[in-house]
Amino acid sequence: MVLAFHVGDGVVHHDEWWERPVCLDFVLHPTARVVAAVEAAGFGDARATERDPYPEVEFPSRRAYVEAVRA
């Protein structure tokens, strides 16, 4: 299994996206909590990698990628 998400705690809300009105919430997740949930769901050997956002291109939050195999 491979999972990608924005790292953090809380919710980021947008009222506009690409100059169009929206009502959109993004939920940020702490990496350790996601890894624990993946392992609790029966996946083993969960490994997480984090990276910084690409400046001026992406939302300014860290990204995480979790890889795991079914135990």
Check residue 44 and give its pLDDT.
86
State which residues form the domain around 33: 2-70
Among the listed residues 55, 1, 36, 53, the one whose alpha carbon sits nearest the alpha carbon of residue 63: 53
| pTM of this structure | 0.84
Q: Would the pLDDT of 71 be above 80?
A: no
Q: Are 42 and 36 in contact (CB under 8 A)?
A: no
Q: What is the pLDDT of residues 19-64, one digit of tens each?
A: 999 999 999 999 999 999 999 999 988 999 999 999 999 989 999 9
Q: What is the pLDDT of residues 15-30, one digit of tens each?
A: 999 999 999 999 999 9
User: Residues 6 or more apart from 14 whose CB is under 8 A from it?
Assistant: 22, 24, 25, 26
Count structural domains, the chain. Answer: 1
Among the listed residues 33, 31, 27, 26, the one whose alpha carbon sits nearest the alpha carbon of residue 49: 31
Q: Would the pLDDT of 1 be above 80?
A: yes
